[in-house]
Amino acid sequence: MPKYNISISNIDKWQHSFAYTVLSLSWLFALQKFNKNYLIIISCISFGIIIEILQETVTSYRTGDFLDIIANSVGVLLGLLIFSIFFKKKRLKNKKTCI
Protein backbone atom coordinates (compact mmCIF):
# COMPACT_ATOMS: atom_id res chain seq x y z
CA MET A 1 0.00 0.00 0.00
CA PRO A 2 1.52 3.35 -0.97
CA LYS A 3 2.27 5.93 1.69
CA TYR A 4 1.07 9.45 1.21
CA ASN A 5 2.75 12.36 2.92
CA ILE A 6 -0.03 14.76 3.69
CA SER A 7 1.21 18.04 5.05
CA ILE A 8 -1.07 20.60 6.58
CA SER A 9 0.85 23.72 7.44
CA ASN A 10 0.70 24.85 11.05
CA ILE A 11 -1.67 22.07 12.11
CA ASP A 12 0.28 21.92 15.37
CA LYS A 13 -0.89 25.45 16.22
CA TRP A 14 -4.49 24.26 16.00
CA GLN A 15 -3.57 21.31 18.21
CA HIS A 16 -1.96 23.64 20.75
CA SER A 17 -5.05 25.87 20.78
CA PHE A 18 -7.38 22.90 21.21
CA ALA A 19 -5.29 21.40 24.02
CA TYR A 20 -5.18 24.67 25.94
CA THR A 21 -8.89 25.27 25.38
CA VAL A 22 -9.57 21.90 27.00
CA LEU A 23 -7.05 22.66 29.78
CA SER A 24 -8.60 26.01 30.64
CA LEU A 25 -12.18 24.69 30.44
CA SER A 26 -11.27 21.80 32.73
CA TRP A 27 -9.86 24.13 35.36
CA LEU A 28 -12.63 26.69 34.99
CA PHE A 29 -15.35 24.08 35.48
CA ALA A 30 -13.48 22.30 38.27
CA LEU A 31 -12.87 25.49 40.24
CA GLN A 32 -15.99 27.47 39.34
CA LYS A 33 -17.19 27.70 42.95
CA PHE A 34 -14.09 29.73 43.89
CA ASN A 35 -14.82 32.38 41.21
CA LYS A 36 -11.12 32.99 40.49
CA ASN A 37 -11.28 32.87 36.69
CA TYR A 38 -8.54 35.46 36.25
CA LEU A 39 -6.13 33.35 38.34
CA ILE A 40 -6.91 30.23 36.30
CA ILE A 41 -6.40 32.09 33.01
CA ILE A 42 -3.10 33.61 34.15
CA SER A 43 -1.93 30.20 35.40
CA CYS A 44 -2.78 28.41 32.13
CA ILE A 45 -1.08 31.06 30.00
CA SER A 46 1.98 31.03 32.31
CA PHE A 47 2.10 27.25 32.07
CA GLY A 48 2.21 27.45 28.26
CA ILE A 49 5.00 30.01 28.36
CA ILE A 50 7.05 28.01 30.87
CA ILE A 51 6.69 24.82 28.83
CA GLU A 52 7.97 26.57 25.69
CA ILE A 53 10.91 28.10 27.57
CA LEU A 54 11.82 24.73 29.08
CA GLN A 55 11.66 23.07 25.66
CA GLU A 56 14.14 25.62 24.34
CA THR A 57 16.54 25.63 27.29
CA VAL A 58 16.45 22.19 28.89
CA THR A 59 16.06 19.77 25.99
CA SER A 60 18.33 19.21 23.04
CA TYR A 61 15.69 17.63 20.83
CA ARG A 62 12.84 20.16 21.20
CA THR A 63 12.60 23.83 20.38
CA GLY A 64 10.49 26.54 21.88
CA ASP A 65 8.30 28.51 19.52
CA PHE A 66 6.79 31.95 20.04
CA LEU A 67 3.86 31.02 17.80
CA ASP A 68 3.14 28.08 20.10
CA ILE A 69 2.89 30.52 22.99
CA ILE A 70 0.41 32.58 20.97
CA ALA A 71 -1.59 29.47 20.03
CA ASN A 72 -1.63 28.31 23.68
CA SER A 73 -2.83 31.72 24.85
CA VAL A 74 -5.53 31.89 22.17
CA GLY A 75 -6.72 28.46 23.29
CA VAL A 76 -6.93 29.60 26.91
CA LEU A 77 -8.88 32.72 25.95
CA LEU A 78 -11.20 30.62 23.76
CA GLY A 79 -11.82 28.36 26.76
CA LEU A 80 -12.68 31.41 28.86
CA LEU A 81 -15.06 32.64 26.15
CA ILE A 82 -16.83 29.28 25.94
CA PHE A 83 -17.04 29.09 29.75
CA SER A 84 -18.43 32.63 29.98
CA ILE A 85 -21.07 31.98 27.32
CA PHE A 86 -22.10 28.75 29.04
CA PHE A 87 -22.54 30.45 32.40
CA LYS A 88 -24.27 33.50 30.94
CA LYS A 89 -26.91 31.20 29.45
CA LYS A 90 -27.13 29.27 32.72
CA ARG A 91 -27.62 32.49 34.72
CA LEU A 92 -30.31 33.69 32.31
CA LYS A 93 -32.09 30.34 32.56
CA ASN A 94 -31.95 30.48 36.37
CA LYS A 95 -33.41 34.03 36.38
CA LYS A 96 -36.30 32.93 34.18
CA THR A 97 -36.98 29.98 36.47
CA CYS A 98 -37.03 32.21 39.57
CA ILE A 99 -39.50 34.69 38.06
Question: Based on the structure, what is the number of domains in the chain?
Answer: 1
Over the chain, what is the mean pLDDT?
Answer: 89
Mean pLDDT of 41-60: 96
CB atoms near residue 40 (< 10 Å): 23
Residue 88: the pLDDT is 80
- Residue 92 binned pLDDT confidence (cut-offs 50, 70, 90): low
19 lies in a domain? yes
2 lies in a domain? no
8 lies in a domain? no
Residue range(s) defining the domain that contains residue 67: 14-98
Residue 93: the pLDDT is 66
1 lies in a domain? no
Distance (Å, rounded) from C-alpha 7 to C-alpha 37?
37
User: 95 pLDDT exceeds 70?
Assistant: no
Residue 94: the pLDDT is 66
